[in-house]
């Protein structure tokens, strides 16, 4: 079978590798700016689909389907993001005679509506946060808030990734928040409808990996803790969660399977929940695709979810039984972004002058870049995922510290310093997490709070260390990397902070 991957970066490379292992040919697609990226070079065949802007390339359904036809592909895997949860595209793929590697279009459509998914969860007995149907006007929102009490959360019906969400803590904030949520819903999801939920304060974000086949078998693979988020975007994920015991894990799994079965689910997906401080959990939504954080489930449960997705789409039924699915050990994943945490996470496009990946026992790096790769502004800034595995959480944290000390990216700013500093935050080390923790630590978009949590003297020492590094670089680095030093002062300040903080002893 020849399989086209309608995506880019690390997830495209991940799927290409799975295809090769299963004996299938892979077809990559690429925009003009991605012509020499690793996923293009790794595939058996690669075809251009348009200019750099995503709407003209990776979101261009006609161009992708034309490439599939030209390549003689028999199936298509969408990865995540872009068109992965677009029911119309899934239908178009099937109408073109291709196998869609993912949930059926009608399931994507059903669960893509937050309100329809909530109603399904209620119908099958999964606990849901008190909420409304799409709000007809601000008066309806005011009435709901009076019934359940502030704070409430306004959410775009088609929302995701933190877009179209507004917290409302009092009646004076409601109308402006409603207008903003509606506007974002229209801009990002072509749907200006908004609904309201009671806000669960300081919850954990817990999700359950599911997998179903056409014979009606639906399995769950435990939970992932995704509470470390910046502005509703996940930053660090792990499995298992320190907050989930065997009984809670069973109940979460049963609720996830009930929702999936009620929807007629096939392929891989994720059922997301909020876990309150009182131990009660509530259905949040279903992501009808492969998740970014799927590797932590793979290493702990000993499965290959991409293999299973492909095999299910090609007609195989699951041979696993629920009792066969047993967690062993603990895993953490850090999302490495081309963003500068010292400049309010500003995008950091450019050329990667030097890339050194960590390795050794219990370390996996799913990366879409290499030395010399150009990081454009046109797409999501995630460069790679660093996954560490150990027999328990303490061993995973030790391996994460070691792996972060080995990981070097020169030429652009990245979020690596953030993870190094997080390791010394007591709440992170103990697993005392909630979805607002990272935003609280970051304060007004800076990492000063995290730096202080690591060492009160860090800033002073970092300045001295940065000076030492620049002097060292002046005598030891080749000319092209000297240009990087001069151009990327912030990057060397980050390196100075690493040295000052004992992350990479010289």
pLDDT digits (tens, 9 = 90+) for 421-470: 999 999 999 999 999 999 998 885 455 655 554 433 334 334 434 444 44
pLDDT given for residue 447 in this prediction: 58
pLDDT given for residue 480 in this prediction: 45
In 264-304, where does DSSP find H-type helix? 294-301
DSSP class of residue 258? Answer: H
Fold entry, domain 204-439? D-amino Acid Aminotransferase; Chain A, domain 1 (3.30.470)
Instruction: Band the pLDDT of 503: cuts 50, 70, 90.
Output: very low
pLDDT given for residue 487 in this prediction: 43
Average pLDDT over every residue of 413-426: 94
pTM, whole model, 2 decimals?
A: 0.83
Instruction: Band the pLDDT of 190: cuts 50, 70, 90.
Output: confident
In 43-196, where does DSSP find H-type helix? 61-71, 87-95, 105-112, 114-124, 138-148, 171-189
What is the tens place of the pLDDT at every residue in 154-185?
A: 999 987 767 899 999 999 999 999 999 999 99
Domain boundaries, the chain: 2-101, 130-198, 204-439, 449-500
Neighbours of 349 (CB within 10 A): 13
Task: State how far the Cα of 209 lies from the Cα of 223, in Å rounded to an integer.
Answer: 7
pLDDT given for residue 482 in this prediction: 41
What is the tens place of the pLDDT at every residue in 104-145?
A: 999 999 999 988 999 999 999 999 988 898 999 999 999 999
Average pLDDT over every residue of 389-408: 98
Determine which of 84-88, 265-269, 439-443 has the lowest per-residue pLDDT on average: 439-443
Closest CA to 256 of 111, 85, 157: 111
On whether the CB atoms of residues 491 and 410 are closer than 8 A, the answer is yes
Q: Using the predicted structure, report yes or no on whether residue 492 has a pLDDT greater than 80.
A: no
pLDDT given for residue 464 in this prediction: 39
pLDDT given for residue 449 in this prediction: 55
Average pLDDT over every residue of 312-337: 97
Per the DSSP assignment, residues forming a β-bridge with 219 are 211
- What's the whole-number average pLDDT of the chain? 89
Catalytic residues: 289
Dihedral pair phi/psi, residue 15, rounded to 5°: -70, -35
Q: Using the predicted structure, report yes or no on whether residue 69 has a pLDDT greater than 50.
A: yes
Q: What is the CATH number of domain 2-101?
A: 3.40.50.20
Closest CA to 373 of 363, 384, 364: 384
Which residue did the predictor score with more confidence, 446 or 488? 446
Q: Using the predicted structure, report yes or no on whether residue 243 has a pLDDT greater than 70.
A: yes
What is the tens place of the pLDDT at every residue in 357-383?
A: 999 999 999 999 999 999 999 999 999
Tokens of 319: 């041979």
E strand residue ranges, 352-486: 354-356, 363-367, 374-375, 382-390, 408-410
Which residue has tokens 């292992």?
A: 21
pLDDT given for residue 456 in this prediction: 34
On whether the CB atoms of residues 97 and 56 are closer than 8 A, the answer is no
Q: Using the predicted structure, report yes or no on whether residue 493 has a pLDDT greater than 50.
A: no
Average pLDDT over every residue of 201-225: 97
Q: Using the predicted structure, report yes or no on whether residue 404 has a pLDDT greater than 50.
A: yes
Instruction: Band the pLDDT of 288: cuts 50, 70, 90.
Output: very high
Average pLDDT over every residue of 469-488: 44
Neighbours of 310 (CB within 10 A): 24
Closest CA to 203 of 88, 284, 113: 284
pLDDT given for residue 486 in this prediction: 43
Instruction: Report the CATH architecture of 130-198.
Output: 2-Layer Sandwich (3.30)
Per the DSSP assignment, residues forming a β-bridge with 385 are 335, 366
pLDDT given for residue 79 in this prediction: 98
Average pLDDT over every residue of 319-340: 97
């Amino acid at each position: 079978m020849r399989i086209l991957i309608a995506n880019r970066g690390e997830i495209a490379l991940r799927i290409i590798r799975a295809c090769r292992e299963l004996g299938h040919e892979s077809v990559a697609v690429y925009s003009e700016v991605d012509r020499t990226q690793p996923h293009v070079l790794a595939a058996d065949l690669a075809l251009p689909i348009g200019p750099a802007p995503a709407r003209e390339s990776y979101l261009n359904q006609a161009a992708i389907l034309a490439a599939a036809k030209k390549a003689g592909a028999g199936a298509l895997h969408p990865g995540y993001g872009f068109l992965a949860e677009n029911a119309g595209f899934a239908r178009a793929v099937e109408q073109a005679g291709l196998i869609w590697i993912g949930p059926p279009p009608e399931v994507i459509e059903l669960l893509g509506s937050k309100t329809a998914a909530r109603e399904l969860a209620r119908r099958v007995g999964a606990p849901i946060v008190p909420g409304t149907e799409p709000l007809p006007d601000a008066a309806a929102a005011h009435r709901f808030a009076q019934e359940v009490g502030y704070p409430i959360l306004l959410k775009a019906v088609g929302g995701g990734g933190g877009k179209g969400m507004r917290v409302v803590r009092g009646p004076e904030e409601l109308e402006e928040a409603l207008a903003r949520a509606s506007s974002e819903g229209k801009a990002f999801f072509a749907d200006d409808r908004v609904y309201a939920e009671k806000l669960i304060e300081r919850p954990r974000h817990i999700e359950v990996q599911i997998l179903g086949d056409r014979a009606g078998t639906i399995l769950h693979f435990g939970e992932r803790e995704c509470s470390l988020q910046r502005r509703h975007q996940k930053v660090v994920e792990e499995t298992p969660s320190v907050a989930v015991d065997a009984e809670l894990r069973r109940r979460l799994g049963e609720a996830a399977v009930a929702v999936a079965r009620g929807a007629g689910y096939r392929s891989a997906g994720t059922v997301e929940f909020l876990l309150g401080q009182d131990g009660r959990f509530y259905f949040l939504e279903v992501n009808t695709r492969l998740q970014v954080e799927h590797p932590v489930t793979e290493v702990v449960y000993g499965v290959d979810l991409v293999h299973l997705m492909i095999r299910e789409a090609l007609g195989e039924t699951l041979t696993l039984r629920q009792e066969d699915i047993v967690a062993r050990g603990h895993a953490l994943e850090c999302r490495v972004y081309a963003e500068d945490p010292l400049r309010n996470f500003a995008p950091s496009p450019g050329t990667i002058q030097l890339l050194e990946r960590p390795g050794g026992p219990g370390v996996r790096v799913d990366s879409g870049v290499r030395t010399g790769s150009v990081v454009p502004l046109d797409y999501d800034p995630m460069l790679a995922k660093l996954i560490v595995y150990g027999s328990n959480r303490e061993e995973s944290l030790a391996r994460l510290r070691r792996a972060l000390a080995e990981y070097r990216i020169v030429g652009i700013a990245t979020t690596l310093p953030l993870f190094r500093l997080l390791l010394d935050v007591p709440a992170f080390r103990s697993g005392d997490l909630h979805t607002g923790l990272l935003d609280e630590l970051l304060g007004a978009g800076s990492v000063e709070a995290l730096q202080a949590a690591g060492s009160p003297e860090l800033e002073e020492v970092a300045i001295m260390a940065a000076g030492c590094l620049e002097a060292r670089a002046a005598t030891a680095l080749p000319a092209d990397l000297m240009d990087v030093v001069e151009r990327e002062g912030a990057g060397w300040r980050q390196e100075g902070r690493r040295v000052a903080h004992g992350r990479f002893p010289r």
